[in-house]
Structure 1
């Protein structure tokens, strides 16, 4: 368990430290004398949300203003018809993840791009919306060099608080296009002594509430809300673990600042 958790943490942390972002906007009245001695926020993962509101217009109002539960935002919002809005620059830290954790990273807002989908939480996701999402994922991962397997749901990173996107979200369709982590077919049975909890942690799930972590895992991979182990879970997790362990090691982090 310890080895897998460390590898996931090192992978995301190294990407976060080593990624590069474009220069921020400059004050036009100032004379630009750039220094190399700085760091910038760079996203290394993408978090998918659903708005759980009646319309994209209502979601825009919430994402752009203060509301009864505090200020929230996201980098992008995709309408049901595939229309796309950008609300926050990718180099800036949007407030979409809240208290969350993935692979040992606890400040998800500083490490991610947030994408909201116009969906009330019970309706299917439209083909136009998912097509638009796939185009956006292709653009973002290409420009920002975000690993394609690090596309997760809000419920994955905050299993005790969030359930979005719902079990109707087509994670398999995203996986077929190369985004997210998905079990391969045919799946091999895990060896004797296989530790499902260790594999769940290696994938990235926070195990402080085991039932919530299992529920989030089942929502993502089976479309259910079951909080107990199910037949077939071990073979799914064994394959996901194998995929992660077969990935090349992350690049070393840059040397510490003087």
Structure 2
């Protein structure tokens, strides 16, 4: 896969090595509008790559540069996520403009791109995340319709644990401590819980800590979470 070059002026120098991939949706009416904004110097936003609904992939910022896609964010002791990550924007109107499933051609292209980047930079599965994971109080993308399971089956993301699950019976405070240990910013506890559910239990995103959420999180904290993916 050779991306089409579509340079954006919106980048600067990295301060950290590349250890993460962050997946977004564009959240605009169409791909053309999103690409134009990501290349507009006045917008001061960008991403390294954009994947269109037909699978066409554009490169806006070189990997070695710091694109401006993450905003105020945090993951696993990293606050400058822009410096540590590759940002991939996936064309989709998002929750506010008619959120819809991602076409197979688009997901196939995302998989090829993530696979290439994961190998090139030796990125662990636990550091391939969504925008909502790193900024739970602000973002919902790529959202509950994104097929994380397809990536997990190819070892391009963590699986949803389904085997040998046990309920640790954590209190709310215990669950939030575990969630923070896993990587989330839990300052806004409801947003953090919903981001976790959106990623690992997308069929019910209600912000309530239940036995299933506790079991999934406990399994994710083990060395080798086991799932059907």
State TM-score, norm by structure 2. 0.84
Instruction: Name 2:138's counterpart in structure 1.
Output: 161
Task: Quote the offset at 1:196 in angstroms.
Answer: 2.0
1:49 aligns with 2:41: no
Task: Quote the offset at 1:192 in angstroms.
Answer: 5.6
Task: Quote the offset at 1:191 in angstroms.
Answer: 4.1
Task: Quote the offset at 1:185 in angstroms.
Answer: 2.9
Instruction: State whether residues 169 and 211 of structure 2, in contact with CA within 8 Å, keep that contact through their aligned partners in structure 1.
Output: no
Q: Secondary structure at the match of 1:201?
A: helix
State TM-score, norm by structure 1. 0.75
1:150 aligned residue (113, 127, 133):
127
How many pairs align? 205
Task: Quote the offset at 1:219 in angstroms.
Answer: 0.9
Q: Aligned partners of 1:192, 1:40: CA distance in 2, in Å?
A: 40
Task: Quote the offset at 1:63 in angstroms.
Answer: 0.3
Q: Aligned partners of 1:158, 1:229: CA distance in 2, in Å?
A: 19
Classify 1:81/1:150 alpha carbon distance in 2 versus 1 (closer, same or farther; 3 Å).
same
When Rg is computed on C-alpha atoms for both structures, the one with the higher figure is 1
Task: Quote the offset at 1:42 in angstroms.
Answer: 2.2
2:50 aligned residue (72, 77, 81):
77
Q: Aligned partners of 2:40, 2:192: CA distance in 1, in Å?
A: 32
Classify 1:78/1:193 alpha carbon distance in 2 versus 1 (closer, same or farther; 3 Å).
closer
1:219 aligns with 2:159: no
Task: Quote the offset at 1:124 in angstroms.
Answer: 0.5
Q: Aligned partners of 1:231, 1:192: CA distance in 2, in Å?
A: 7
Q: Aligned partners of 2:28, 2:192: CA distance in 1, in Å?
A: 25
Instruction: State whether residues 49 and 154 of structure 1, in contact with CA within 8 Å, keep that contact through their aligned partners in structure 2.
Output: yes
Structure 2's unaligned 5+ residue stretches are 1-13
Instruction: Name 1:180's counterpart in structure 2.
Output: 157
Q: Aligned partners of 1:244, 1:204: CA distance in 2, in Å?
A: 16
Task: Quote the offset at 1:166 in angstroms.
Answer: 1.5
Classify 1:191/1:227 alpha carbon distance in 2 versus 1 (closer, same or farther; 3 Å).
closer
Classify 1:64/1:241 alpha carbon distance in 2 versus 1 (closer, same or farther; 3 Å).
same
The correspondence of residues 48-67 of structure 1 with structure 2, limited to 5 A, is 48-67=23-42
The correspondence of residues 1-258 of structure 1 with structure 2, limited to 5 A, is 41-67=16-42, 70-121=43-94, 122-191=99-168, 195-223=174-202, 224-243=204-223
> Which is bigger in relative contact order (C-alpha 8 A, separation at least 6)?
1
Q: Aligned partners of 1:94, 1:193: CA distance in 2, in Å?
A: 38
Q: Aligned partners of 2:138, 2:157: CA distance in 1, in Å?
A: 21
Task: Quote the offset at 1:40 in angstroms.
Answer: 6.5
Aligned alpha-carbon RMSD (Å) = 1.9
Instruction: Name 1:15's counterpart in structure 2.
Output: none
